[in-house]
Structure 1
């Protein structure tokens, strides 16, 4: 059953679940930082945590992704932007108005938020270095987080992966 809620309420649901079921993953969540001048939901994410530690326990999002700190997000975005060498690459691979907020251990895949103008602003997508990005998979960061929290609480599939807890850390099969 999908629940609705604010980002803060859903973050609380997820961290309460982690505290009981995957305490090692909760321990990998870094303290919050203040961020202004960014999309409100990204600001709210960083108001709750500045990413997760780059450990297995910290990569508790789907596809082995962990939450990026502000510094890691800026660095990964700069690296990806540096690889865009023309409008065809930007149109088909990585768009300059995408901002990564979660990534796997080497940044070859990441979750991003679209900061560009238009109806897709604030939508969440997934980027894979080999094939490029797929935009607007979730309408917002809150919608992504609600779907993730529902999946871990109910033990159901989320984007084709099922949550599992090993050694106190949340992972996905």
Structure 2
């Protein structure tokens, strides 16, 4: 994880120094433990390793293809919004169209958002996949669309693939979008 971050930070230093300067310092063991206590889960080790490099970012900038990289505090804040809706029965008769390996929920309290686009959409760690899925897989969660898409089998796979995409030019810095986006969208 540290090597992947190092490559990403080197790219940021050259192509988007402001973005690099907005990454938070590492999460402390106490911050991670508190998040796990609040969520009543254990986070995947690869994601914990990521948080121990950078605890999200400061302010809204798009680090992950138009999405903010959430800190421990913001992960809980975003999760709590969805949990309140779930507990109020908002999703009782609402289902998604999931890829293989993802349960057919609109939202699950075992889906842990680590990004946010400012409009209710997230990338989530899925800690309760279907039988053919993998614990800790990365999935999409759209607030107004049924699709629940599998992005990667693990956070580590997702992050390595994303950084490789940045380094190869698949994702670029676009000032008008406030961060990194898919080059096809520029």
Q: CA RMSD in A?
A: 2.2
Q: Deviations over 1:5-61 (max 9, x none)?
A: xx2221211111111111111111011112244221221121011111223xx3221
User: d(CA) in 2 for partners of 1:170 and 1:115?
Assistant: 28
- Conserved 8 A contact 1:29-1:53: yes
Structure 2: 5+ residue stretches without partners: 34-41, 96-103
Q: Deviations over 1:73-119 (max 9, x none)?
A: 0111111122122554474311121000111124x111110112654
Establish whether residue 113 from structure 1 lines up as the match of residue 107 from structure 2.
Answer: no
Query: Using a 3 Å threshold, how does the CA distance of structure 1 residues 131 and 50 change in structure 2: closer, same or farther?
Result: same
* Structure 2 counterpart of 1:71: 73
User: d(CA) in 2 for partners of 1:116 and 1:92?
Assistant: 11
Query: Using a 3 Å threshold, how does the CA distance of structure 1 residues 136 and 30 change in structure 2: closer, same or farther?
Result: same
- Conserved 8 A contact 2:70-2:115: yes
Which moves more between the two structures, 114-123 or 41-50? 114-123
- Conserved 8 A contact 1:125-1:138: yes
User: In structure 2, the residue corresponding to 1:11 is in which secondary structure?
Assistant: helix
- Conserved 8 A contact 2:15-2:173: no
* Pairing of 1:3-152 with structure 2 (within 5 A): 7-34=1-28, 35-36=32-33, 37-55=42-60, 58-62=61-65, 64-84=66-86, 85=89, 88-89=93-94, 91-106=104-119, 108-116=120-128, 119-132=133-146, 134-152=148-166
- Conserved 8 A contact 1:93-1:131: no
- Deviation of 1:132 after TM superposition, in Å, equals 4.4
Normalised to the residue count of structure 2, the TM-score between the two structures is 0.75
User: d(CA) in 1 for partners of 2:67 and 2:117?
Assistant: 4
Normalised to the residue count of structure 1, the TM-score between the two structures is 0.80
